[in-house]
Structure 1
């Protein structure tokens, strides 16, 4: 029998301490936009005020099933992505946590199709009950579009040759439907790679981000944070690659300063809406115990007072 799939939550204590450490403390409503397997949520509930509430979002049916096993009346569950955060009432949240990317159980389960380390169906959807799988998309996508996705979301310099190889495979052997097929094809196309990195790493990352619209959803969630966070509420975001972190960093920087309209030099500036609080990386001990934590970056910001 296979051992149960486990997930080690990255920056667990640091994230929850940052989330609950603002001027509003552990009172009010908090939001975990990426429940995953519940590491952060369980710790939040253990420290949450008795009359507080935790609202969790997740696309993954398995994550929702995990959440439904928590017996706590303060927990509210929403089976949808965090692009729906804006549906929450204005200024209703004392804190918002986003732990981005894919969880270890998703990666380690061959049937989900996220990993090149196992052979499985080429799926990669966070919610396998909705939308198009990677295999379905690759079956008809134009090679130019495939190359663009690999280049933009995977930062892969061999995007063109990989896309051409996928198109050639389709012509000769039919659609690519298995992770092992895609991993072998990319490995045969990419002749050089950084030491210790599988040649298909960037391509798998690109297809996962694209098929789940991860960056677009992140941008929507960050904009929604300005709507749902009460003054003094904390925004905590953990990212695992440069594309995500760049979006978060630029968003906080953009709203952490007054904005002047050069077309109306005498108009009052738009007030700053966020204050940057911290940037945190996992310590050496955490990285040694959980290598997947190596690339994590946590950024913390605080919602400033609403304009009068």
Structure 2
């Protein structure tokens, strides 16, 4: 089974962070990025009294995770949706609040492994990169239709690419000769456009451009900006939100949302916090946690993970920030 290839990152730590919230009978946890179901399987196994709602925009991943989680079918509800649709998913399921929400952000192992999806630059494949390949623009559409200015913005902001303008201009020149359809041609262009000294550091020269195109195609950062507040709003008192990020743009958004939720608006020189002005959440992790060395050795995907978690300590009150 394909799902057996998937090794969930920091699974034991994720289980430990969610344990205080999920041990009570009837607890509900949402896996907002179901993927191949590795984290969900671990949570269902660890907490036999909890119910899981799994969300994924990738119908192929949903089919595989449905098979993987079949032994727990009575306690699972799997939904084809984008994770910023969390409020609608919970309403449809008749759930008013949950005890845990988990995100494992970025591209999944399955999407990288399937060459025809176009996520990986190591193999020549169609430039698709859609997590839901039933709708929306492909990476080829972006490359062939976006203006030089728009391509520059995408590469600079989403890929943090220093040579964004140079690459965008080269793409515009090449697509006039022939539209882009496959990843191999784009990788060749990137080798030519990025100066040799820059190619020797910072990993594969295509890494940043492919990341930028994937984020643009799937609107990942704007979806995440909506999804994290939705997750915070969905958990009840004692509930926890746990997020694994793999690149700085994602982690920055998560950190900002968590900081806002855990910050007190009371002046620092005030001797006490008046009732009703306490932060609704507390930080559970100290900064961003990383995977232990032995895990990164056995599972290279874990090397870049940054894990953060918060817990709701006060009920949401209307009119409170």
Relative to the length of structure 1, the TM-score reads 0.91
Do 1:259 and 1:269's aligned partners in 2 also have CA atoms closer than 8 Å?
no
Whole-Å separation in 2 of the counterparts to 1:96 and 1:4? 22
The whole-number CA distance in structure 1 between the counterparts of 2:123 and 2:253 is 31
Residue 309 of structure 2 is matched in structure 1 by 300
Instruction: Kindly state the Cα deviation for residue 33 of structure 1 after the two structures are TM-superposed.
Output: 0.3
- String of CA shifts for 1:282-301, please: whole Å, max 9, x gaps: 00101111122111011011
**Aligned residue in 2 for 1:273:** 280
Could you tell me which residue of structure 2 aligns to residue 132 of structure 1?
A: 137
* 8 Å contact from structure 2 (residues 148, 169) kept in 1: yes
1:107 corresponds in structure 2 to 112
Residue 47 of structure 1 deviates from its aligned partner by 1.9
CA distance in 1, matches of 2:245, 2:6: 16
Of stretches 73-82 and 4-13 in structure 1, the one that deviates more from structure 2 is 4-13
Secondary structure of the 2:282 match is strand
Deviation of the 1:258 alpha carbon:
2.3
Question: Does the 8 Å contact 1:91/1:231 carry over to 2?
Answer: no
Aligned to 1:182: 186
Q: Distance in 2 between matches of 1:194 and 1:292?
A: 21
- In structure 2, what is the Cα distance between the partners aligned to 1:122 and 1:75? 34
Shift of 1:137: 2.0
Secondary structure of residue in 2 paired with 1:73:
helix
Q: Distance in 2 between matches of 1:193 and 1:270?
A: 51
Range with bigger deviation, 90-99 or 292-301: 90-99
Look up the SS of the partner of 2:5 in the other structure: coil
Alignment counterpart, residue 217 of structure 1, candidates 209, 223, 248 = 223
Say if 1:130 and 1:294 are closer, same or farther in 2 by CA, change over 3 A: same
After superposition, the CA RMSD in angstroms is 2.1
239, 243, 246: which one aligns with 1:237:
243
Q: Any idea what the Cα deviations from partners look like across 1:253-273, whole Å, max 9, x if unmatched?
A: 111022369xxxxx9875412
By how many angstroms is 1:68 displaced? 2.1
Alpha carbons 1:238, 1:297 under 8 Å: kept: yes
1:121 aligns with 2:144: no
Structure 2 length as normaliser, TM-score?
0.88
The structure in which a higher percent of residues are helix is: 2
Q: Check conservation: 1:20, 1:26, Cα contact below 8 A.
A: no
**CA 117–5 in structure 1, closer or farther in 2 if over 3 Å, else same:** farther
CA deviations 1:25-71 (Å, max 9, x no partner) are: 35411100001111100011112243x31000001111110122122
Matched, 1:10 2:9: yes
Cross-structure match for 2:271: none
Q: Choose from 291, 296, 303 the match for 1:287.
A: 296
Pairing of 1:5-154 with structure 2 (within 5 A): 6-22=5-21, 25-27=23-25, 28-50=27-49, 52-69=50-67, 70-71=69-70, 72-87=73-88, 88-89=90-91, 92-154=97-159
1:264 match: none
- Post-superposition CA distance 1:185-222 (Å, at most 9, x none): 11110111353611111000000011101111111111
Structure 1, unmatched stretches of 5+, are 262-266
3-state SS in 1 of match to 2:308: strand
Query: What stretches of structure 2 of length at least 5 have no aligned partner?
Result: 268-273
Secondary structure of the residue aligned to 2:174 is helix
